[in-house]
Amino acid sequence: MGSIEHENDIHVIDPIDPEEFRSQAHKVVDFIADYYKNIEQYPVLSQVHPGYLRKNIPEESAPNVPECLEQILQDVTRFVVPGITHWQHPNFYAYFSASKSTAAFLGEMLSSGFNVNGFNWLSSPAVTELEMLVVDWLGEMLKLPKSFLFSGGGGGGGVLQGTTCEAILCTLVAARDQKLREIGRDKFSKLVVYASDQTHMCLKKAAHVAGLGEENLRVIETTKSELYALSPNSLRIAIQSDIENGFIPFYLCATIGTTSTNAVDPLGPLTAVAQPHKIWVHVDAAYAGSACICPELRHFLNGVENVNSISLNTHKQFFSAPDCCCLWLKDPSALKNSLSTNPPYLRNAATDSGEVVDFKDWQITLSRRFHAIKLWVVMKSYGQENLRSFIRHHVEMAKLFEEMVKRDPRFELVAPRNFGMVCFRLSFWDVDMSNVINARLLEEINKSGKAFMIHTVVKGVFMIRITIGGMMTKERHVVSTWKLVQELAEKVMVMEGI
């Protein structure tokens, strides 16, 4: 693939021949369109075994001569597709969805086509200025306080990162350094991070990368009676105990829509506990944040005006493809103080003027993709009302599944439904037996190839979680999936002699 010229008997490939690109790109677009057209014919969860690919591809090394695109696509069909778990399948209900749309495809094509690296304003002014625009647009849709927006005039602003893992690491480092400047670096070992036992594992990883060990992390137990949300009173007790023992509280991660049960931590009461101790409060709204553009769901963000930072992934419910995480900060200077580097080869008049934003100072890496054009194309292509309607449709389908579970006396809901996720299980008095049977049920569901879900375990209880957020999921898919669950539940119960 690629045009080949002959110069002094040396084959020179032209990597970008515009007309060849036009021809080849049409073939790839057709291939992808056919994949989506026929996606329901595939098992949702890949059925291959470990090591399948090396066993099936006969070549032992990369080819010495070019292969035609048609042969490459045939090999994709033969070797790659069987090993794909089809995240865009309408019956993919595992983890959280990786949303996609035609607009996101086109935005990605533009981003890849321009292939610019927007690490500072000078390197591509449009990359920076469009990013500032779209994060403000989304912030306004969420009704974030003006203090978080570039247009707010208070010094706040937002940045597009890859994932929430990056956002949490960046804010944790900023909070760490801000506190150490206040108390002295010799007290590093006394710093303490707070979170609930439902907080995503990326916080623990971020703390480790930031040099903080288990002794610096306080995981506060949640209870079913408080809907698995972080209790402000439990937080208060933990903070007071740490202060009495010579520790220094500095960072709290609250969650809007936890991974296991979609629990929502109460931002207002938590910030009331944290503020007197100058604790940086970050809100992880990775999954559920996008849903808060709907006025009827915005109350889940009440209290956000008192936090330091908030992040969400537009690639989960907002029509955008991975990766695209929005991080807003009330005071970005703390982040820049920790992450700024200014070697001579990056110095320029625009940066020195102080009139521009250099996003390299808002993230871990130097290089950065043109994320903003993808989000901009999505917002312009669909408009606010269509985006809200789509999210509402997912929530309504989750409500439908919830009602169907309630109507079957063999099943129970294990946690309240917030947004588009339902936690359920076959109900038995004996917890151990229930865990075994529900694990068997989940295994049968995924083995069928007709749907893919995952489980979680909370307080020793094994539960199945279904997250409805796929771009191709319709009500008929949800209904047929419930029928599948019922049929396989009957099969499992017969197998177990129940």
The amino acid that residue 248 corresponds to is I
* Of residues 374 and 11, more confidently modeled: 374
Domains 18-86 and 106-384 share a fold: no
E strand spans, 210-247: 217-220
Would you place residue 26 in the very low, low, confident or very high pLDDT band (cuts 50, 70, 90)? very high
pLDDT at position 3 is 47
Q: Which residues contact 290 (CB under 8 A, 6 or more apart)?
A: 312, 313, 314, 316, 317, 318, 391
The pLDDT > 70 percentage for the chain reads 98
Among 61-75, 239-253, 326-340, name the one with the lowest average pLDDT.
61-75
Q: What is the average pLDDT across 17-30?
A: 94
Give, in words, the CATH class of 106-384.
alpha beta
Percent of the chain with pLDDT over 90: 89
Tens of pLDDT, residue by residue over 462-486, are 999 999 999 999 999 999 999 999 9
Query: pLDDT by residue (tens digit) across 278-324?
Result: 999 999 999 999 999 999 999 999 999 999 999 999 988 888 888 89
Determine the average pLDDT of the residues in 262-268. Answer: 97
Compute the average pLDDT of residues 177-196: 97
Q: Is the pLDDT of residue 197 over 50?
A: yes
**Within 13 A of 312's CA, how many CA atoms are on the CB side?**
21
> In the prediction, which pLDDT does 4 show?
43
| 2 has a pLDDT exceeding 60 | no
Residue 431 has pLDDT above 90, yes or no: no
Q: Span 323-334, mean pLDDT?
A: 95
Q: Is the pLDDT of residue 342 over 80?
A: yes
Domain extent listing, the chain = 18-86, 106-384
pLDDT at 269 over 90: yes
For residue 35, pLDDT beyond 60:
yes
Closest CA to 338 of 280, 284, 290, 408: 280
Mean pLDDT for the stretch of residues 394-415: 97
Q: Domain 18-86 belongs to what architecture?
A: Up-down Bundle (1.20)
Report the distance separating Cα 1 and Cα 28, nearest Å: 13
Instruction: Share the mean pLDDT of the chain.
Output: 94
Helices and strands (H, E) in the chain, number of each type: 15, 13
pLDDT for the residue numbered 6: 43
pLDDT at 11: 65
Three-state secondary-structure class, residue 450: coil
What is the pLDDT averaged over residues 243-271? 97
What integer is the mean pLDDT of 158-175? 96
3-state helix, strand, coil in the chain (%, to 5): 50, 15, 35
Mean pLDDT, residues 79-85 taken together: 96
DSSP assignment string, 455-492: EEEETTEEEEEEE---TT--HHHHHHHHHHHHHHHHHH
Provide the pLDDT for residue 137: 98
d(CA 179, CA 60): 54
* Total-model pTM: 0.94
In the numeric block, the tokens 């049968």 are attached to: 444
- 127-152 tens-digit pLDDT: 999 999 999 999 999 999 999 999 99
Task: Answer whether residue 498 shows pLDDT above 80.
Answer: no
pLDDT tens-digit profile of 199-224?
A: 999 999 999 999 999 999 999 999 99
What does the block give as tokens for 208?
């480790």
Residues contacting residue 98 through CB under 8 Å, at least 6 positions apart: 87, 88, 315, 316, 321, 322
User: d(Cα 150, Cα 167) in Å, to the nearest integer?
Assistant: 18
Nearest alpha carbon to residue 200 among 265, 295, 122: 265
- Alpha-carbon gap, residue 459 to 124, rounded angstroms: 50
Any idea which of 236-245, 250-259, 314-323 has the lowest mean pLDDT? Answer: 314-323
In which band, very low, low, confident or very high, does the pLDDT at 5 lie, cut at 50, 70 and 90? Answer: very low
β-bridge pairing 248-255 and 191-196: parallel
